[in-house]
């Protein structure tokens, strides 16, 4: 988290020219260094692949695995849930296996690992690695996946079935998304410029992240999830509703559940992919809903669009804004689209943030908005 | 310590080549009536526009068909229902196509097949077809997907005090994925779960059990035998108890160390 905070405050982007795969497309990506040289420990070799390696690296950041283990010891393995979001899980490993098919079109023997060639691979790996015995599931709703995990975990906690939940998610670079988004003509040749009048599409990235959720009494100084909103656009599989119908429903639902009004919101981490349509719709929604004093930005100029990991990555950034009283701007962008209101900031700001939202929208018209509030401050 | 969730099943939908609706399923589960399976059959959910019914991937047809059946039996307007679409593997033929194309000629990836490859494609088509703007979720939990979906949907319904829709489906593996995915059949089940329901199909009480892993239901109906490797068919124990009006506890696997004890409560008079 300190590396992320440093990159945000010093405005250093993680994007680089695409160097992923044999014949890289002409675009920019957010690529994590060192994954190729970091195989999983032998105990977990069946799950080895880029996405689970990335998750393993993330689990070992910021003492997360120690905190998670302590929670499991405190409450018992069966009283801790695991809800993880991913869009493509470890399909990168399946792509690799298909490049090495035997002459009679079978997977090579070393790739006959059911653990890795399925949607639930990430979740089953983390479940085994942490020894979680409570309810465990993958939410795979494209780019809203690891935002919706917070809603699912909140319901599990509310039900009394568990006492803690580990949430998060991960998505790694793979041919499916690079060539798939390219086929949809949504990828920019230049580093993405969210909300810029001349934006030309998104930059893809990879990330994994985790959070430990407990009831408020467990730590009154910790930031709190106070609301979540989930909705569907009911409009189109790969384009947002032109008036932002579903995005607005998710936003209103999150605020209502939190008992907040738009005027209470200090900062919004926007979905802001830098696609023409998403940013136009989201900018108009923010402009018509929030006070001019609310700050809003997209941080995808730093990270790229990490797809199913965007929810957890941007939740972490949203929580950093509360903790560090700091709002990242919108990196790479120069001139804001006329649809933007006064809320969207290009520059970083130092500002006391008490209430912050994070927006995540995905294919299928799938929307999620999370509302967070600062914990007790001394 | 563990709390139980009590909930009504307001409507059921089912699609397999042997039983294309709840009435056919009752016949198969109660009387073991053999209906000659026809693996070329596809569901034809009328809620989809004709062009999409023709072009949609089988995963979409299966999920949408049982969702529509369950809503119709429950007499609940689909657009008012938060929904959870649960599939272990998603659309395996599309994944096979994507991986094969990426290995041969990546620039030829079809944009439509790419956006149909997302795990929430069936949920997205459902929301679009029904005009439903409620929460729309797509999940996987490997072999334990049906149990995880039943719990997730029950909690969605409980958290709102309203009803929620579950559609669980899996399609046969394709291409080289057959080497690692045993699923070789089409099976889908839909359930409308409601906290309050005047005339339910059944009432259930769900409790978590971490003490032992569930065994597959041993009762060898035609459907059990045909769909042993289809994760959505882990619902068959519940469906059989309801079809036969046999109250009791059905154990549904929900994880490597987790079982749902689903008690089918006497609900008929």
3-state DSSP of B84-103: EEECCCCCHHHHHHHHHHHH
Other beta carbons within 10 Å of B248: 11
Question: Distance between CA atoms of B156 and A321, rounded to whole angstroms?
Answer: 30
Residues from chain B contacting residue A370 (CB–CB below 8 Å): none
Chain A touched by B145 (CB under 8 Å): yes
Can you give the pTM of this predicted structure?
0.98
| CB-based contact A231 B125, cutoff 8 Å | no
User: Which pair of tokens denotes residue B74?
Assistant: 């429950």
User: Which pair of tokens denotes residue A129?
Assistant: 């690695």
**Shortest Cα distance from A13 to chain B (angstroms)?**
28
Tens digits of per-residue pLDDT, A150-169?
999 999 999 999 999 999 99
Interface test with A, best of B49, B87, B118, B170 (most A CBs within 10 A): B118
The chain-wide mean pLDDT, for chain B, equals 93
Residues from chain A contacting residue B130 (CB–CB below 8 Å): 234
Chain B touched by A237 (CB under 8 Å): yes
Of the pLDDT bands very low, low, confident and very high (cuts 50, 70, 90), residue B269 is: very low
Residues of A assigned a catalytic role: 143, 271, 305
pLDDT at B268 over 80: no
Question: Distance between CA atoms of B100 and B106, rounded to whole angstroms?
Answer: 9
Facing residue for B127 by CB, picked from A136, A161, A232: A232
Is-contact A72 A155, C-beta < 8 A? Answer: no
**Shortest Cα distance from B81 to chain A (angstroms)?**
11
Give the residue from B95, B223, B94, B89 showing the smallest Cα distance to B168.
B89
Give, as one character, the DSSP assignment of residue B56. Answer: S
The ipTM value here is: 0.98
Question: Distance between CA atoms of B123 and A230, rounded to whole angstroms?
Answer: 13
Instruction: Encode chain A (378 residues) as per-residue pLDDT tens digits.
Output: 999 999 999 999 999 999 999 889 999 999 999 999 999 999 999 999 999 999 999 999 999 999 999 999 999 999 999 999 999 999 999 999 999 999 999 999 999 999 999 999 999 999 999 999 999 999 999 999 999 999 999 999 999 999 999 999 999 999 999 999 999 999 999 999 999 999 999 999 999 999 999 999 999 999 999 999 999 999 999 999 999 999 999 999 999 999 999 999 999 999 999 999 999 999 999 999 999 999 999 999 999 999 999 999 999 999 999 999 999 999 999 999 999 999 999 999 999 999 999 999 999 999 999 999 999 987
Chain A touched by B67 (CB under 8 Å): no
Facing residue for B114 by CB, picked from A99, A180, A230: A180
Chain B contacts in chain A segment 359-378 (CB below 8 A): 362-366
| CB-based contact A120 B131, cutoff 8 Å | no
**Rounded alpha-carbon distances, angstroms, from residue A114 to A20, A39, A354, B175:** 25, 18, 45, 15
Q: What are phi and psi of A242, to 5 degrees?
A: -60, -25
């Amino acid at each position: 988290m300190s590396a992320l905070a440093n990159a945000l405050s010093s405005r250093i982007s993680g994007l680089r020219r695409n160097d992923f795969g044999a014949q890289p497309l002409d675009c920019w990506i957010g690529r994590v260094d060192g994954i190729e040289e970091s195989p999983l420990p032998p105990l977990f070799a069946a799950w080895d692949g880029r996405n689970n390696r990335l998750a393993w690296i993330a689990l070992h950041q910021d003492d997360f695995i120690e905190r998670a283990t302590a929670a499991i010891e405190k409450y018992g393995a069966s009283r801790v849930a695991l809800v993880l979001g991913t869009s493509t899980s470890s399909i990168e490993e399946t792509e690799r296996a298909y490049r090495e098919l035997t002459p009679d079109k079978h997977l090579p023997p070393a790739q006959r690992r059911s653990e890795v060639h399925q949607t639930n691979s990430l979740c089953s790996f983390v479940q085994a690695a942490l020894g979680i015995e409570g309810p465990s599931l993958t939410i795979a709703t494209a780019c809203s996946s690891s935002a919706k995990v917070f809603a699912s975990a909140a319901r599990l906690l509310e039900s009394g079935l568990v006492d803690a939940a580990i949430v998060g998610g991960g998505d790694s670079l793979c041919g499916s998304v690079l060539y798939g988004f390219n086929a949809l003509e949504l990828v920019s040749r230049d580093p993405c410029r969210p909300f810029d009048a001349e934006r030309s599409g998104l930059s893809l990235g990879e990330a994994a992240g985790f959070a430990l959720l407990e009831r408020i009494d467990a730590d009154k100084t910790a930031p709190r999830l106070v609301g979540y909103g989930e909705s569907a656009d009911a409009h189109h599989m790969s384009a947002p509703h032109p008036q932002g119908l579903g995005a607005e429903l998710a936003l209103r639902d999150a605020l209502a559940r939190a008992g907040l009004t738009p005027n209470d919101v200090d900062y919004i981490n926007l979905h802001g992919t830098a696609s023409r349509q998403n940013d136009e719709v989201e900018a108009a929604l923010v402009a018509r809903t929030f006070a001019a004093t609310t700050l809003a930005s997209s941080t995808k100029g730093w990270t790229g669009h990490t797809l199913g990991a965007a929810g957890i990555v941007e939740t972490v950034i949203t929580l950093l804004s509360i903790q560090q009283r700091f709002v990242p701007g919108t990196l790479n962008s120069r001139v804001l689209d006329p649809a933007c209101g006064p809320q969207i900031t290009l520059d970083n700001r130092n500002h006391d943030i008490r209430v912050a939202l994070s927006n995540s929208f995905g294919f299928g018209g799938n929307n999620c908005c999370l509302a967070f509030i600062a914990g007790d401050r001394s | 310590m563990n709390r139980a969730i009590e909930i009504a099943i307001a409507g059921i939908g089912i699609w397999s080549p042997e039983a294309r609706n709840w009435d056919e399923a009752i016949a198969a589960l109660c009387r073991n009536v053999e209906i000659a399976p026809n693996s070329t059959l596809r569901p034809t959910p009328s809620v989809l526009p004709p062009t999409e019914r023709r072009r949609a991937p089988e995963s979409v047809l299966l999920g949408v068909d049982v969702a529509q059946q369950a809503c119709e039996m429950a007499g609940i307007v689909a657009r008012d229902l938060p929904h959870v679409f649960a599939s272990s593997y998603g659309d395996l033929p599309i994944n096979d196509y994507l991986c094969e194309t990426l290995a041969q000629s990546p620039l030829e990836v079809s944009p439509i097949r790419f956006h149909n490859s997302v795990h929430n494609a069936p949920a997205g088509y459902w929301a679009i077809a029904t005009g439903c703007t409620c929460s729309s979720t797509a999940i996987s939990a490997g072999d334990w997907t049906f149990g995880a979906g039943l719990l997730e949907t029950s909690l969605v319904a409980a958290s709102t005090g309203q009803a929620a829709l579950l559609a669980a489906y899996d399609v046969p593996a394709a291409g080289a994925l057959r080497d690692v995915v045993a699923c070789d059949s089409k099976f889908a089940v839909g359930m409308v779960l409601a906290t309050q329901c005047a005339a339910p199909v059944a009432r259930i009480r769900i409790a978590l059990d971490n003490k032992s892993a569930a065994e597959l239901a041993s009762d060898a109906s035609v459907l059990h035998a045909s769909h042993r490797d289809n994760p959505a068919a882990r619902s068959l124990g519940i469906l059989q108890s309801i079809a036969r009006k046999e109250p009791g506890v059905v154990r549904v696997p929900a994880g490597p160390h987790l079982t749902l004890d689903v008690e089918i409560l006497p609900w008929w008079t």
